Structure 1
Amino acid sequence: MTLGFVMLVHTAFDRAAQVARYWAARGCPVVIHVDKAVRPKDYKPFAEALRPDPNIRFCKRVSVEWGTWSLVEATQNGAQALLRNYPDVRHVYLASGACLPLRPVEELRAYLDDRPDTDFIESVTTDEVTWTIDGLEMERFTLRFPFSWRKQRRLFDGYVDLQRKLGLGRKVPDGISPHLGSQWWCLTRSTLEAILQAPDREQMDRYFRHVWIPDEAYFQTLARRYSGRIESRSLTLSKFDVQGKPHIFYDDHLQLLQRSDCFVARKIWPRANRLYDTFLGQAPDAAPRKEPNPARIDRLFSRSNLRRAEGRTGLISQGRLPAPHWDGTRTCAAYAVFSGFDDIYGDFDMWLARRIGGRVHGHLFHPARAEFAGGERVANGCISDNATLRDYRPEQFLTNLLWATRGERQSFQFGPGDIQDVRDFLARDPNATIVAVTGAWAVRLFRDQRDFSAIRSEAASLQKTELAFIQNLRATSTKARVTVWSLSEFLENPMERLQHMVELIMGHDPRRLTEVPELPDLTGFGRFLQTLRNEGMKPVTTGDIPPEYGERQ
């Protein structure tokens, strides 16, 4: 009987009982501390079911709260009961009710028998700690923390700030050097007895009672005082996310846990039946014993934490949108936005699709519906053309469309007659290439046969919207590749403008365009613009197009 366990339990009692029985049946005594806050109707059946086992005992209970001295006190109670009742125990392993042995306990016992004088406890000086959250490293040892971080957060933060401003602090007791590390350790009997029976234990307990998160500092610091040999690592596999919360392992993590070669893992989901059945049912391996190697899966967890913090490029959680000032890449792939070309050329979409390939949509943000390529009503990813659905979250409509069609170039039209909520998003997206011909709406209105007063009113509205779009494109925050021509600049040399536009999308191509859309008949177009001016509407975004433009010679 060289190995014993102290278990801290506060929930999932059926799983805790299953693991405790597993260890006890294999000759490892277990002392269980149950949080005093647990209701009697939950505690009594759990205790009564396990008490008949001679290798399972219960210790004095305390009410446990995260980050407080109560966790250390519960551990002390369990360790003292284990050492007192089982004198043959040489190593004491601290575990929780959510822990699960990944390898047969016989292998763990043999591993410790080969290292009878070694303490396994992560113990790192505060100068070398890189995992602490909220900036409290050495300060957790020199300030006082009488308020609960979880239940009295404003008082906690306010009192920390007050102590900093007033220069208040506490002196670290002589004879110790503050260390931090994982709560889950495996200590030798001699080291643990030295800590619990130290002449100055009362002083040490009084000091650590006011350290923040003392369960990560008490044994980690005092083990350095008494241990003859420390391996600064935990034999328990525990992984944490970017917020300092433990990862929970589920059934689909089975192969991942097997690759780690660790002896114990936490935190296991209570209903992970496959994990419990697999690991508690395995026999000892006759092959040479393997060294625990959590580094094998560290890379996966690092990627997981990075994915959680930054997401996947172009795929944004609907429950956690980026802040307005966020400047990361907003979409998953490059795409092109054309403004004004379809007002000039009636068959621009078909010509563009033949020239650059991919999927060329119409006006995705048309007020009536999203004009998907080919007149489709539902695009990849079951994205509907319904305007109400699209306009609820227009930015996410676009990012979802690009994600669902990734691998295929996407292009679409966008003009002043479209829903404008997305224009700032387009301008700030590094994946967007925006090519605009301003004032092109005038060509469409030129062919309109309505009453001229209605045309003038629509022209004024379209130009006002377009000026706001141009302002977006010229803002210092713009990340998109932007090319803007006025209508007059475009009409000076349409072939060269179209050639430049294609090269922006496709990259430099030495081949020159041999086929371009046919310009409409613009006879009288200059006089039309002059008439707008005469009626009090000045078309500034069209550029300088004289009244005689388009007159037959």
Structure 2
Amino acid sequence: MSIGIVMLCHTALDRAAQVARHWVDRGCPVVIHCDKRVKKAEYDGLQASLSDLSDIRFSTRYACEWGTWGIVAATQQAATVMLRDFPGVRHVYLASGSCLPLRPVRDLVSYLDGRPRTDFIESVNTADVSWAIGGLDLERFTLRFPFSWRKQRPLFDGYVRLQRRVGFRRKIPAGIVPHLGSQWWCLTRQTLSAILEDPEREEIDRYFRRVWIPDESYFQTLVRRYSANIESRSLTLAKFDFQGKPHIFYDDHLQLLRRSDCFVARKIWPNAKKLYRVFMTEEGAGQASAEPNPGKIDRLFSKAIERRTKGRAGLYMHSRFPNENWENGKTAAPYSVFEGFTELFEDFEIWLGKATGTRVHGHLFALDRVHYAGGETSYNGAMSDSAAIRDYNPKSFLSSLLWNARAERQCFQFGPGDNPEINWQLAGDPNANISVISGAWAVPLFKSNLNFSEIRMEAARLQKLEQEHLNILRNPYAKARSRIWNLAEFLENPMEPLQTIVDEISPRALRRLTEAPRMTNLTGFGQFLQNLRNQGMQPVLMGDFPVGDDPRPNATRRGRPYLVK
């Protein structure tokens, strides 16, 4: 009878009764507190189901609303009954009705017998707490909280703001150094009785009645006044998510719970029949005696929290879809965007596909339709080539395409004639590798059969659109890897940028290009640009082209790509 169990129950009373019987049958007396809000018929049923056990007690009932004093009052009352009725108890273990012993009770008894003067309670100074939820750490001890955080949230928040505005501060009683920690502890009789019999208890209780979530601070603070040997940790496995809500354990967590080597776990789903069967019968025996080490499974919980809060890269979850920049990466995999290459080179997409062994699409954001590789009308994930469907949400279209085909690098064409709504998505995506030959859009106009007045108007429109696009790529907030050449400097030495592009897409190939794709005939292009100038339209994005048949400018410097980060 060296260990006594205090159980706080408010739901699933049948499971609470099952666990209480498990403790008593193995020599541990139990004092049960049942939330006053539980219906009398259910409470009477709980008492009747345990009436055959002599080492069961029921304490005075309090209403235990989350974050309020009732939970501390219930714990105080049940602990008082335990110390009064069971003088042989040396350690008092606080548990809930949803707690489940993970190891044989004799292991816990033996463990505590070897540490007769040790108090196990998480007790951390408020200055060192990083996990407090709600933005209140020391303020929970210096402000007043007369309103329920859950039921009266507007009043709660408003009253906190009012106290901050007027500078109200409660005085912390002398000798009290606020500490926080888990509600679930295991204290020695000496320490617990000193807390409950403190001559200043009335004043201390009056102060803590207005502390927010006092069950996480009352015993955690007072134990520092009386305990000679504290281990600041709980023997109960209790995990919380990023919102401060407890993780619930189900049947498929069986092996995970075993690996923790902890004595008790909370919070167990009432219908986890396998867990209750395994850990409360002889099947639960046979575990190696080891130091409780919840850190063994912390990595899995950290990954679970990360997956829940961040999701997978490039996969938008419904929980963060409406929130800009909450995604874990805009897209799922690296991809390449080419601007001006199909205008300058014939069959560029076919050539690049052969040179890199990857999928090369046409203009995915063309106004008429989505130009998938090979002229396909649909793509992975049943993605249609309909421009109307794509333009309903262009960002999601691109993210979905890259997610559906993330095993293969995607390349596509883009230009000033495409849907500009995608501009910032491309510029802000670290996965995007964008290669631009500025001014190449003029080549199709040069070869067109339009009236020159129409050509001039279209050239002015496209130049304005491309200039806006380039400004976005050069924006200091852009994260895409962008290489920009004007048409003139690209033509000085096209093999060098083409080699760079191929090496970027297929870094393991390490192949030197022996030939470039066939370039379109640009004879007369310089005169075409001069004609645009003569008509009042100033082409500035193509670089310096002489008036003549040779498209290569007579410049002595060697063109070099430049990188925009």
Tell me which residue corresponds to 2:169.
169
Q: Which moved more, 1:503-512 or 1:87-96?
A: 503-512
Secondary structure in structure 2 of the residue aligned to 1:421: helix
Tell me which residue corresponds to 2:560.
none
Secondary structure in structure 1 of the residue aligned to 2:420: coil
Task: Give the TM-score normalised by the residue count of structure 2.
Answer: 0.86
Residue by residue over 1:510-537, the C-alpha shift from the partner in whole angstroms, topping out at 9 and shown as x without a partner, is 8653222212234454555556566665
Question: Is 2:103 the partner of 1:103?
Answer: yes
Tell me which residue corresponds to 1:23.
23
Compared CA separation, residues 392 and 69, structure 1 to 2 (3 A): farther
Amino acid at match of 1:183: Q
Distance 1:327 1:226 in 2: 49
Task: Give the TM-score normalised by the residue count of structure 1.
Answer: 0.87
Distance 1:389 1:104 in 2: 61
CA drift of 1:505 comes to 4.3
Compared CA separation, residues 52 and 455, structure 1 to 2 (3 A): farther
Distance 2:544 2:442 in 1: 13
Amino acid at match of 1:351: W
CA drift of 1:496 comes to 4.1
Tell me which residue corresponds to 2:513.
513
CA drift of 1:365 comes to 2.4
CA drift of 1:201 comes to 1.8
Residue by residue over 1:281-303, the C-alpha shift from the partner in whole angstroms, topping out at 9 and shown as x without a partner, is 34564676322111222233334
Residue by residue over 1:353-392, the C-alpha shift from the partner in whole angstroms, topping out at 9 and shown as x without a partner, is 1222222222222344433334445544555545455434
CA drift of 1:411 comes to 1.5
Tell me which residue corresponds to 1:82.
82
CA drift of 1:103 comes to 1.1
The answer to whether the Cα contact below 8 Å between 2:310 and 2:326 also exists between their aligned partners in 1 is no
Q: Which moved more, 1:142-151 or 1:381-390?
A: 381-390
Runs (5+) with no aligned partner, structure 2: 552-565
Amino acid at match of 1:319: S
Aligned residues: 551
Amino acid at match of 2:178: P
Residues 358-369 of structure 1 correspond to what in structure 2 (within 5 A)?
A: 358-369=358-369
Residues 17-166 of structure 1 correspond to what in structure 2 (within 5 A)?
A: 17-39=17-39, 43=43, 45-46=45-46, 48-51=48-51, 53-166=53-166
Distance 2:451 2:52 in 1: 96
Compared CA separation, residues 449 and 194, structure 1 to 2 (3 A): same
The answer to whether the Cα contact below 8 Å between 1:327 and 1:428 also exists between their aligned partners in 2 is no
Distance 1:497 1:284 in 2: 66
Distance 1:128 1:499 in 2: 55
The answer to whether the Cα contact below 8 Å between 1:61 and 1:74 also exists between their aligned partners in 2 is yes
Residue by residue over 1:286-328, the C-alpha shift from the partner in whole angstroms, topping out at 9 and shown as x without a partner, is 6763221112222333344444454444444342148546798
The answer to whether the Cα contact below 8 Å between 2:310 and 2:328 also exists between their aligned partners in 1 is no
Amino acid at match of 1:220: Q
Secondary structure in structure 2 of the residue aligned to 1:187: strand
Question: Is 2:418 the partner of 1:418?
Answer: yes
Tell me which residue corresponds to 2:216.
216
CA drift of 1:242 comes to 2.9
Amino acid at match of 1:94: L
Residues 277-426 of structure 1 correspond to what in structure 2 (within 5 A)?
A: 277-283=277-283, 285=285, 289-321=289-321, 324=324, 329-380=329-380, 383-426=383-426
Tell me which residue corresponds to 2:4.
4
The answer to whether the Cα contact below 8 Å between 1:63 and 1:70 also exists between their aligned partners in 2 is yes
Compared CA separation, residues 269 and 530, structure 1 to 2 (3 A): farther
Secondary structure in structure 2 of the residue aligned to 1:98: coil
Distance 1:448 1:196 in 2: 93
The answer to whether the Cα contact below 8 Å between 2:428 and 2:480 also exists between their aligned partners in 1 is yes
Distance 2:434 2:395 in 1: 16
Distance 1:374 1:170 in 2: 73
Runs (5+) with no aligned partner, structure 1: none
The answer to whether the Cα contact below 8 Å between 1:133 and 1:244 also exists between their aligned partners in 2 is yes
Secondary structure in structure 1 of the residue aligned to 2:421: coil
Residue by residue over 1:178-215, the C-alpha shift from the partner in whole angstroms, topping out at 9 and shown as x without a partner, is 32211001122333233223332211110111122211
Distance 1:26 1:186 in 2: 18
Compared CA separation, residues 3 and 500, structure 1 to 2 (3 A): closer
The answer to whether the Cα contact below 8 Å between 2:314 and 2:327 also exists between their aligned partners in 1 is no
Tell me which residue corresponds to 1:487.
487
Amino acid at match of 2:209: R
Amino acid at match of 2:73: E
Secondary structure in structure 2 of the residue aligned to 1:116: coil
The answer to whether the Cα contact below 8 Å between 2:338 and 2:436 also exists between their aligned partners in 1 is yes
CA drift of 1:78 comes to 2.5
CA drift of 1:427 comes to 0.9
The answer to whether the Cα contact below 8 Å between 2:441 and 2:462 also exists between their aligned partners in 1 is yes
Residue by residue over 1:58-86, the C-alpha shift from the partner in whole angstroms, topping out at 9 and shown as x without a partner, is 33222222222121112223223333444
